[in-house]
Each structure stands twice: as C-alpha cells, then as structure tokens.
C-alpha cells in the first residue's frame, strides 16, 4: 500500500493465497488474474502459497483480492512487500553441490587406487584428489566449522565439533601422506562425510522452510492501521505504528481496532476474544474504553486514541511472550546431549590409542596415523543423520495429514508430555459461529433462499456464518429488491412484494438470528460456537496416551461449564493471559511436562511457556507463531495423532543412536588395532548412514493411523 | 596411463560443467518454488503460453 515502487505505470504486488494446493488452483488463480485488463503478469509460488502480480495503476490491491475471490480463493496483500522470504535451505545447497561433486570425483580416483594403482599413478591420483578435495572441504565444511567454532568459544561442544575435527585432521593427514608418497589418503572419506551430513542438514532446513512458509501464508499479512479523521474532517489511512494518542479513528463494522482508545461517538458491540478469550460480544458506548485488537461487530464508531504502538494491551501480551520464549530456549536437544558425551569420549579414545601405540613401541608417525584413523572412523556420520532424517520423515508424514511442524526439537519435547491444557474458544470449539443444523433443516427451500440472499448482503459475522452454512447445503439464493442493511439491526428487503428481513431477535439471551419472510411464522435460528468434531474421541485418546487434560479458558464460568460438560473435562475459567502462563509455569515447576493447545492472542504467552504447544490453523497470528505445531483441519484428532508421531519419532531417533553406537563397537576396535584402511572406512561409513536413513524411513507412516492404537 | 591423461581432465571437466549448471540454476531462482515446478507440468494450456 505504501511501499509501491514508483516505476511509471508498472507495479508489482505480492498476495498470500493460503488456499492453493495443487496445479488446478495454480492455473485458476493465474488465469483468474490474467483475464482482467490491467494485470500484466501473474506468477504463483506454490511452495510459499503466494502470487506475484505485475499490474498497471488501473487496478489496486483490493481489486486483485477481489479477482482472486471471484475464482474462489481468499487472498491478502503481503505486509512487507519488499522483504524476500527467508530460506534456510538456499545457503546450504551450494555447499552440498560442491561436496557431492568433489566426493564423486575423488571416489573415482580412490577406487583406482584401491584396485591396485601403484607408484607414480597412485601419486598422481592422490595429488589430483588433494587438488579437488582441499578447496571443496574448505567451502563445503564452512557450516560445520562455523557452528563448531561458535560452540567452542562458548566453552561448550556440539555435534559439529567432532565432525569438524575429524574432517580437518583427515584432510591434513591425507595431504601429508600425499606429500611423502604414502599409500593411504582419506580425502574421499572426508568428502563423503560432508556430503552425507549436508544432505541431512538440507532436509532439516527444507522441513523448517516448508512449515514456516505454510504458517506465513496463514498469518494475516494485511497492513494494519486505521482510518483517521483529520481536523478538517477528511479521512486518511494511517498504519498502526504511526498512530499517535489524541488522533480520532473511525472504525467500521467488521474492522479491528489498531490502538487502545475511548469511544467518542456511537455505540457498538465488540468481540474481545483475541485478548481475553471471552466469546460473548461486549457492548460499549460513548466514553468507554475499547482495546486494540478487538473487533467492532455492529455499528461504526469513532475512537480517540489513548495509547498506541508499544503501550497497548496487545503489546503487553507480546512482552509476556518474549519472556516465555527465552525460558524455553534453554532446552537442550537430544543430539547435543549425545554430543556432550560423544565428543570427549571419542577424542580421549584417539589420544589413548596414540599413547598406547607409542608405549607398544611404534614410531610417532605410525601412532599418529592410527590415532587419526580412530577419529575418522568414529566421525559421527550416522549420528549426524540420526536426528534430522527421522524428524524430516515424520514431519513430512504429518504435513500430509494436515499438521505443520515448525521446529524439529518440538518432537522431542512433545514426546515426553504428560499434561495438556486446552483453550476453549477456537480450540475445543471451532471458534466460529455455526447456525444450528436442525433449525436450518426446518426452513422451506424458499425461506432458505431468502435467508441466503439476505445474508449475502451483510458482512456481519452472523450473516457470514449463515451464508456459509446455507451455501454448503446447496441453497440457491432468491432474488430480492430494495435490500438495505441497518447497522446493529439486520438486513431488510422485499421479496415478491413482501417485506423480508434477517435481523437480531427482539429478546436478548442466546446468540441467534430471526428470519422474517412476511409469510408463515418467523424463524429463530440459534447460532453457536460448536465443539469440534471428534473432540471427545480425541481427548479420550490423549488420556489413553497417559496425558491428563483440562480446559483453561479466559471465558466466563457459564460458557466454559457448558463446553466442559460436553467434553467431559475439568475446567478453569476466567484465566487472563498472565494467569495461563502462570499455571503452565506452576505445573512445570511441579515436574509435569505441559502441552498447551490454544489459538488466541491471549494464549500466546502460555503457548510459548509450555514444553510443547499446538495451535489450530484458524489461530491468531500470535498463536500461529508461538506454537510448535499447527493443524489445519477441523478435527481435533490431530492432537493424539501428533503426540503419537512425536513418540514414534523419538523412539526411532533412539534406535538410530543405538545403531550408530553398535557400528562404533565394531569399527573402533579395528581402528585401534590399526587395521582400518580408507576403503574399510568408506564402506563402514556409508553402510551405517544408509542403515540409519532406512530405519528413519519407517516413520513415513507415523501419522497414518489416526488416534491411539 | 596415456588414456588416463585424456580421460581424467575430460571427467573432471564434465563434472565441473554439471556443478556450474547447478550454480547457474541456483542463482536464477530455479529452486524457489519446487512444489510449483512439480505441479506446473500438469497445467495444460496449449492455447496461450507464448507470452509467458
């Protein structure tokens, strides 16, 4: 909106279209856009669910959003147009390509040496190998060297320390062997190791990129701001970060407030669920305080900004979250825990070998060569693949089941969970109003048609819910005349000369709409937030997995009690964001491993503080970003399924570690005895890596068979 | 030995050529949308793609 490049008449615009998932969607969106004059080019990026549109000044972002809506997709302009999406894979691809190229060519030469090349031929081949391998190792090894150096400087160690040490020492020894015309060079082993490990890293990065772009597409990218009434009465759009206290915002129906403020004219009901979890709209009038992030439901109001930007209640929640996130980052991944034991063990073993051979009377050179062989053979090739490959395969399986994994270490954290806290609105329930199916079924086709036609003329959440429910029932809209929407009252029109209306019922109480057709009785259609399908089964499955569940909601006692009874769970109501976070902290302090399932902004701090967290795809931006897993389906069966996949993943990771250790038990004595040649090392390393990969592939079906058993 | 003197540079050259091609593709954003590239082949639009 504000960051358009000002090239004469050609502009580009990036829109997020989360609904695209196949070739058909792609061509529909691209053609839907290209069919309009003013659109010069449209290119979909299916991986990131974005479309880049080149257009002239006759169309703007709103038009583009509408064009895409016409072909049946929801679209939102990206907030930071200029910012390129970050990719963790790209910086690793070049090192992988170089390592693979060098490994293949050096292996070619090594095979000739192994099959008996002698004398000057062998020397020539070693020199050529060195020429290829040394620069390649320098380039492709950088990701490992950098991370290892970082760990060493902090006085800790990680998997990259033994890897870097092994590779560097192998290269140095091989160069020396080449120089003196020795029989064995280890260039192929070092390069193969780098190739395998980089492949593991690339897979890991791919998984995270995919999940992140999936979540990014869900996160609403629309620029947030407000229409501000100037001193001369003119309206101008001001982004939320530029709002100042004292400005007057005009907030239309269906719009979210961009800042806290006092209502100076009009009265309306506000949906504060984003902040408090309270689903019932709160009526507010002149002189009362409205909070940033709340949704104006009924009538346009004018609000004088009292605090904006960093001072709003919204920003306070963001600060709570930051604190929680730091707390969790102290978690040590299983791979790094293994490395803490592994690295010192391997290095002292190598040292002991050298000392042992010296004592036994070998020359210093011989002893060193054998010590290096120990380092190379124990280089954690399989160990480096053990965790990433298992996680990649498992998250791929979950992705296909509609569950996005944002962080690999989340598997480890989720696997040990024994206590689950579930938010109510939007988590146990669908979080959107759904008209009562029975009441809809009682409508005659004509009544349903009138209701649909009326509902389609309003953007009120209840109308939208009616429209959606009726459309899925295959109702055809009736033709109406004189349609008028009266804010806060309903939609009115005439149908075949009769006055018809879809309006709020006269008596308060439950949420409902009243359909008047001017003929026959008025129809009252209750609209309520329904429990997710399979919620009870999913909770039973979670309990079956040894996870104690309870509801933790910001909603009032009464609303929570109803759902608690339906779901058959103990519940705590009236929990503010800080209370939720405190309860999570309290449970963790008492030794429980806590899983937080929530969607709202008010759940954000608790999601970040819990050992693991899951959010539905309909969650607020904050919820999506704070959660480890995001599931994009209505069914709650995603919860036990994710837990089950996480436990299986951890099991396979442990098996992989066991395989790597067994490999070492066989290989290390050979190395210590001085029997390992480069050929044996190459075979042993690739065999153990392949074994680990094969074992991990069993996880491909981890998410297949639904809940529990 | 004579054969090796020819074959070795040829093998290395071909390998390097592949590597260079990969780097070219990487620089030209060919790896930005692997999913889209896989799906695009299924779109059949013979009538108009000459402008793309």
Nearest to B36 among A46, A94, A128 (CB): A46
pLDDT at site A138:
94
Higher pLDDT, A29 or A217: A29
Q: Which segment of A82-91, A100-109, A391-400, B30-39 scores lowest on mean pLDDT?
A: A82-91
Contact A393, A696 (CB under 8 A): yes
B42 in contact with A, Cβ within 8 Å: yes
Q: Is the whole model's pTM more than 0.90, yes or no?
A: no
Pull the structure tokens for residue A156.
Answer: 């800790």
B34 in contact with A, Cβ within 8 Å: yes
Q: What crossing angle do the helices spanning A119-140 and A160-180 adopt, rounded to 10°?
A: 150
How far is residue B28 CA from its own chain's centroid? 11
Q: What crossing angle do the helices spanning A313-328 and A577-589 adopt, rounded to 10°?
A: 20
A257 in contact with B, Cβ within 8 Å: no
State the sign of the Cα–Cα–Cα–Cα dihedral A204, A205, A206, A208: positive
For A471-526, how does the pLDDT look when each residue is reduced to its tens digit (9 = 90+)?
A: 877 788 888 888 887 766 788 888 888 888 888 776 655 567 888 877 777 888 87
Distance CA A226, CA A571 (A): 38
Burial (CB < 10 A; 0-12, 13-18, 19+), residue A62, is exposed
Higher pLDDT, A309 or A559: A559
Higher pLDDT, A76 or A392: A392
Pull the structure tokens for residue A61.
Answer: 């972002």
How far is residue A93 CA from its own chain's centroid? 22
What string of DSSP letters covers A154-197? TT---THHHHHHHHHHHHHHHHHHHHHT-S---HHHHHHHHHHH
Q: What's chain A's average pLDDT?
A: 81
* pLDDT more than 90, % of chain A: 7
Pull the structure tokens for residue A542.
Answer: 């979670």
**Chain-chain contact of A46 with B35 (C-beta, under 8 angstroms):** yes
Instruction: Name the residue of chain B whose CA is nearest to A84's CA.
Output: B32
Model ipTM? Answer: 0.76
Q: Decide if pLDDT at A318 tops 70.
A: no
Half-sphere exposure of B43 (CA within 13 A, CB side): 20
B3 in contact with A, Cβ within 8 Å: no
- Could you give the strand order of the β-sheet that contains A429-435, starting from the edge strand earlier in sequence? A429-435, A523-531, A512-516, A498-503, A490-495, A481-486
Contact A637, A707 (CB under 8 A): yes
Site from B1, B10, B12 to mutate, A interface, most A CB atoms within 10 angstroms: B12
Contact A200, A421 (CB under 8 A): no
Q: Decide if pLDDT at A1 tops 70.
A: no
pLDDT band at B45 (very low <50, low <70, confident <90, very high): low
Query: In this structure, what is the dihedral angle of CA atoms A383, A386, A387, A391, given to the nearest 10 degrees?
Result: 160
Contact A503, A516 (CB under 8 A): yes
Residues of A carrying an active site annotation? 423
What string of DSSP letters covers A394-434? HHHHHHHTTEEE--THHHHHHHT--EEEE-IIIIIEEEEEE
Pull the structure tokens for residue B21.
Answer: 């091609």
Distance CA A369, CA A376 (A): 11
Distance CA A331, CA A412 (A): 10
Q: What crossing angle do the helices spanning A187-218 and A678-697 adopt, rounded to 10°?
A: 20
Average pLDDT over residues A435-459: 81
Nearest to A26 among B18, B22, B40 (CB): B40
Q: Decide if pLDDT at A416 tops 50.
A: yes
Kindly give, in sequence order, each residue whose CB lies less than 8 Å from that of residue A33, ignoring residues fewer than 6 positions away.
Answer: A39, A42, A51, A53, A64, A67, A68
Nearest to A128 among B8, B35, B42 (CB): B8
Q: Which residues on adjacent β-strands are paired with residue A468?
A: none
pLDDT band at A706 (very low <50, low <70, confident <90, very high): very low
Given its phi and psi angles, is residue A155 left (phi above 0), alpha (psi -120 to 50 degrees) or beta? left
pLDDT at site A326:
59
Q: Decide if pLDDT at A130 tops 90.
A: yes
pLDDT at site A671:
86
Pull the structure tokens for residue A544.
Answer: 């079956």
Residues in chain A: 709
Looking at CA atoms only, how far is residue B6 from chain A in angstroms? Answer: 14
Burial (CB < 10 A; 0-12, 13-18, 19+), residue A259, is buried
Distance CA A4, CA A478 (A): 42
Q: Which residues of B touch A22 (CB under 8 A)?
A: 39, 42
Q: Which residues of B touch A54 (CB under 8 A)?
A: none
Contact A242, A279 (CB under 8 A): no
Looking at CA atoms only, how far is residue A47 from chain B in angstroms? Answer: 5
Average pLDDT over residues A627-634: 84
H or E, element range at A577: helix A577-589
pLDDT at site A595:
92
For A523-559, how does the pLDDT look when each residue is reduced to its tens digit (9 = 90+)?
A: 888 777 778 878 888 889 989 988 998 888 877 777 7
Pull the structure tokens for residue A642.
Answer: 């994710």
Half-sphere exposure of A655 (CA within 13 A, CB side): 17
Instruction: Name the residue of chain A whose CA is nearest to B24's CA.
Output: A94
For A194-223, how does the pLDDT look when each residue is reduced to its tens digit (9 = 90+)?
A: 888 888 888 878 777 777 666 666 665 444
B24 in contact with A, Cβ within 8 Å: no
Pull the structure tokens for residue A134.
Answer: 């040394």
Mean pLDDT: which of A327-336, A370-379, B22-31 is highest?
A: B22-31
Given its phi and psi angles, is residue A452 left (phi above 0), alpha (psi -120 to 50 degrees) or beta? alpha
Pull the structure tokens for residue A570.
Answer: 């103990």
Distance CA A189, CA A679 (A): 9
B31 in contact with A, Cβ within 8 Å: yes
- Could you give the strand order of the β-sheet that contains A612-616, starting from the edge strand earlier in sequence? A403-405, A629-631, A612-616, A594-597, A419-422, A548-552, A571-572
């Amino acid at each position: 909106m504000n960051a358009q490049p000002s090239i004469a008449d050609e502009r580009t615009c990036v829109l997020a279209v989360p609904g695209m998932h196949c070739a058909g969607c792609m061509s529909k969106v691209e053609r839907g856009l290209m069919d309009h004059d003013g659109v010069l080019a449209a290119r979909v990026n299916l991986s990131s669910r974005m479309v880049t549109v080149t257009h002239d000044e006759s169309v703007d972002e709103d038009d583009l959003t509408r064009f895409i809506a016409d072909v049946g997709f929801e679209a939102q302009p990206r907030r930071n147009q200029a910012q390129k999406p970050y990719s963790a894979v790209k910086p690793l691809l070049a090192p992988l390509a170089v390592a693979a190229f060098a490994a293949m060519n050096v292996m070619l030469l090594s095979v000739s040496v192994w099959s008996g090349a002698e004398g000057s031929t062998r020397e020539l081949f070693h020199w050529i190998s060195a020429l290829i391998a040394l620069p390649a190792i320098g380039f492709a090894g950088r990701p490992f060297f950098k991370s290892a150096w970082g760990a060493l400087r902090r006085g800790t160690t990680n998997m990259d320390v033994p890897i870097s040490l092994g590779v560097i020492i192998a290269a140095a020894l091989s160069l020396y062997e080449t120089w003196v015309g020795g029989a064995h060079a280890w260039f192929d082993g070092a390069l193969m190791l780098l190739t395998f490990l980089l492949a593991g890293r690339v897979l890991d990065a791919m998984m995270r990129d995919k999940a992140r772009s999936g979540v990014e597409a869900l996160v609403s990218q629309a620029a947030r701001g407000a229409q501000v009434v100037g001193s001369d009465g003119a309206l101008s759009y001001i982004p939320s970060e530029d709002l100042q206290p004292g400005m007057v915002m005009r907030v239309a129906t269906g719009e979210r407030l961009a800042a806290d403020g006092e209502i100076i004219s009009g009265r309306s009901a506000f949906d504060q669920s984003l902040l408090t979890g309270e689903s019932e709209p709160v009526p507010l009038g002149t002189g009362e305080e409205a909070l940033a992030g709340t949704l104006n439901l009924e009538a346009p109001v004018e609000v004088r900004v009292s605090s904006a930007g960093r001072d709003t209640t919204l920003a306070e929640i963001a600060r709570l979250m930051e604190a929680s996130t730091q707390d969790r980052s102290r978690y040590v991944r299983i791979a790094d825990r293994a490395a803490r034991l592994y690295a010192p063990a391997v290095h002292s073993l190598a040292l002991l070998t050298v000392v042992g051979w010296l004592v036994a009377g070998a020359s210093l050179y011989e002893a060193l060569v054998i010590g290096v062989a120990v380092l190379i053979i124990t280089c954690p090739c399989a160990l480096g693949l053990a965790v990433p490959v298992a996680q990649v395969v498992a998250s791929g399986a979950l992705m296909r089941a509609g569950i996005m994994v944002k962080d690999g270490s989340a598997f480890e954290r989720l696997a040990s969970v024994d206590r689950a806290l579930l938010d109510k609105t939007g988590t146990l329930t669908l979080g959107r109003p759904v008209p009562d199916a029975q009441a809809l079924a009682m409508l005659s086709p004509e009544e349903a048609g009138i209701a649909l036609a009326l509902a389609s003329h309003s953007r009120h959440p209840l109308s939208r819910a009616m429209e959606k429910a009726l459309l899925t029932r295959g109702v055809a809209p009736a033709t109406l005349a004189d349609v008028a929407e009266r804010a806060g009252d309903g939609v009115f029109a005439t149908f075949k000369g009769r006055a018809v209306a879809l309006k709020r019922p006269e008596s308060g109480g439950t949420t409902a709409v009243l359909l008047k057709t001017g003929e026959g009785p008025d129809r009252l259609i209750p609209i309520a937030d329904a429990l997710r399908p399979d919620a009870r089964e999913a909770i039973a499955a979670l309990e079956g997995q040894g996870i104690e569940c309870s509801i933790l909601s910001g909603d009032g006692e009464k609303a929570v009690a109803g759902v608690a009874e339906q779901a058959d769970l103990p519940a705590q109501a009236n929990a503010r964001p800080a209370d939720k976070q405190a309860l999570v902290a309290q449970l963790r302090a008492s030794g429980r491993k806590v899983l937080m399932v929530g969607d709202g902004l008010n759940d954000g701090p608790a999601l970040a503080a819990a050992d693991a967290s899951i959010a539905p795809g309909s969650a607020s931006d904050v919820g999506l970003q704070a959660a480890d897993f995001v599931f994009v389906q209505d069914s709650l069966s995603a919860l036990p399924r994710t837990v089950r996949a996480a436990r299986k993943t951890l099991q396979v990771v442990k098996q992989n570690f066991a395989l790597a250790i067994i490999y070492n038990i066989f290989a290390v004595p050979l190395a210590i005895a001085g029997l390992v040649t480069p050929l044996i090392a190459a075979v042993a390393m690739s065999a153990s890596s392949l074994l680990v990969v094969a074992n991990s592939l069993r996880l491909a079906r981890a998410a297949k068979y639904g809940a529990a058993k | 030995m004579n054969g090796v003197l020819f074959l070795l540079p040829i093998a290395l050259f071909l390998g390097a050529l592949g590597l260079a091609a990969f780097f070219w593709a990487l620089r030209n954003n060919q790896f930005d949308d692997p999913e889209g590239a896989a799906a695009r082949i299924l779109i059949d639009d013979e009538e108009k793609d000459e402008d793309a």
